[in-house]
A and B are shown apart, each in its own frame.
Chain A
Amino acid sequence: SQQGEEDPQALSIQEGENATMNCSYKTSINNLQWYRQNSGRGLVHLILIRSNEREKHSGRLRVTLDTSKKSSSLLITASRAADTASYFCAPSGSRLTFGEGTQLTVNP
């Protein structure tokens, strides 16, 4: 089984800036999902991208997938303080495991 690995471990930006976090995985996938976790809360599903998709948008979120490089990125545009959270990726085949995530801090 595989586990997505998020990078960087921590990211601190100012409100209004864009935030980009990356995910790498090891074996082929059917899909890849991104989740957000606010401190002390459960994870919330953000977006799912299938292996035959290269890019997907949802509001201020943009996810890309490069299956040749076995990597995905999550871009949050025009960030807000409320985006402060940990972000996790979950490639299919990860057997329900989650890595340590990227801790995003958006400063007002």
Chain B
Amino acid sequence: EAQVTQNPRYLITVTGKKLTVTCSQNMNHEYMSWYRQDPGLGLRQIYYSMNVEVTDKGDVPEGYKVSRKEKRNFPLILESPSPNQTSLYFCASSPLADTQYFGPGTRLTVL
């Protein structure tokens, strides 16, 4: 089954404790992206990757890091999480940056 998977689905952590949210797709897509969803703001892009070893900032990259060492994986790293990073996070992939396929989401709470 073609899908984008994210782990964990739910995470509660404390300020400053490094964490990684994994994302994996099995569709051999070139393009992958991370978004955060906040009430009244919709989906805002954090980082995206056009291909392996090619990443770029989206609209809200501060406080986040990503890597793309393999085509299928695109982890999101929060080196020192803060409460304003409490949000719902989505990973997405697509052949190009158009019809993107989204993962099920990761709800992160930073205390």
Q: Do A and B bind each other?
A: no
Listed in ascending order, the chain B residues whose CB lies under 8 Å from chain A are none
